Amino acid sequence: MPWEIVRPDDGLPAARRSVRCRACGKELTFTVYSVTGTGRRQARWRASAWGGLGTLVAGVAVLFSGAIVGVGVALVIAGPILGLVFGTAASDEVGISGHGNGFPVTNAKHSVTASPPPHDLPDLTCTRCGHMEEFPRAAYFRDDYVREQYEAARDRFARHVCLASGGTGPK
């Protein structure tokens, strides 16, 4: 079910947010991270994924040294698995944890995924001269910021000097 949550501002600690499950009626509390906090969590998973690669490399080195073959084999097998698990966790990380969400290899009953931000604002393009009024709309911008910028861009667009109508502006 859709659930709209407000992330804490950057620099603030993670916040607890509750939602009632529509299927089982349970009140669930999740920990929600700020945008930069989410980025840090993703970076940590990625670092762990590189650790998996390091494990593989170490395993190969142990095998070549012929020291302890069993350990070498174990490391060579474990390395790619760790890399895959942590790499997947990095791409699944949405900065919302709780009830098994945000942990690798758990198929949580109550899981949260992030939908793409709703910056689906119409393009400001003049159909007569092709002039396009730009506004910031990147996914990591806050929705109210984008909306504010969009409104400013729309004002500029309304006053744009339209080349197709002889430089007099639209209507």
Q: Give the footprint of Zn ion on this chain (CB under 5 A).
A: 21, 23-24, 126, 128-129, 131, 162
How near is the Cβ of 117 to Zn ion at its closest, in Å? 26
CA distances from 114 to 98, 111, 130 (A): 14, 10, 35
Cα–Cα distance, 79 to 71 (Å, whole number): 12
Token look-up 């744009």 returns 160
**From CA 140, how far away is CA 134, in angstroms rounded?**
17
Nearer to Zn ion, 116 or 168 (CB): 168
162 closest CA partner among 133, 122, 123: 133
What is the distance between the terminal CA atoms of the chain, rounded to a whole angstrom? 45
- For Zn ion, the closer of residues 45 and 135 by Cβ is 135
CB nearer to Zn ion: give 60 or 126: 126
Q: How far is the CB of 116 from Zn ion (least distance, A)?
A: 24
Q: How far is the CB of 129 from Zn ion (least distance, A)?
A: 3
Question: Which residue's CB is nearer to Zn ion, number 49 or number 153?
Answer: 153
User: Smallest gap, in angstroms, from Cβ of residue 28 to Zn ion?
Assistant: 7
